[in-house]
Amino acid sequence: MNSDRSEKKNEVSLFRLYLLRGLYLFVVVGLALVQWPEVIDKILHPAKSWDLMDGVVSCMLTSFSVLCLLGLRYPLQMIPVLLWEVVWKTLWLLIVALPLWTAGHMDDSTMSTVISCLLVVIFPFIIPWRYVFVNYVKKQGARWR
């Protein structure tokens, strides 16, 4: 009986699952509109090459959108992808953008990236943190041997 109560307490509501799916859909649609046309163009016209970092960023964003597609079907299992997004964008904003901004050295290109990264502020309101804590922090890890 007690384990039933604790499982019920740690269960994610249907509303929160729909919020997660909405977040995954937001990412998929946004990146499909912004990123996928460029990637498809590079696939269809391989003679057009990317700069190294542009290629890395484009491939990472495209793979993120593909993983978010999986999140539509498996919203809880794909939470680590959302956590990765929150962590890297938060780090970039704190370590790269904030010092530039406070020193008055923010250029238009960096500001554009800041605006894109600030969309991550909605993620913490949608991620079911109790589920994350129970399943990724408190839960015993897989054995090593």
Q: Give pLDDT tens digits for 117-142.
A: 999 999 999 999 999 999 999 999 89
User: What is the C-alpha separation between 139 and 123, in angstroms, rounded?
Assistant: 23
For the stretch 34-60, pLDDT in tens is: 999 988 988 888 877 888 888 898 899
- How much of the chain exceeds pLDDT 90, in percent? 77
Whether the per-residue pLDDT at 7 is higher than 70: the answer is no
pTM of the model: 0.85
Residue 54: its pLDDT value, please? 86
Residues 6+ apart with CB under 8 A from 56: none
Q: For all residues of the chain together, what is the average pLDDT?
A: 91
Token reading at 64: 């993120």
What's the chain's Rg over C-alpha atoms? 19
User: What is the C-alpha separation between 57 and 114, in angstroms, rounded?
Assistant: 15
DSSP code at position 139: S
Residue 8: its pLDDT value, please? 59
DSSP assignment of 94-138? IIIIHHHHHTT---HHHHHHHHHHHGGGGHHHHS-HHHHIIIIII
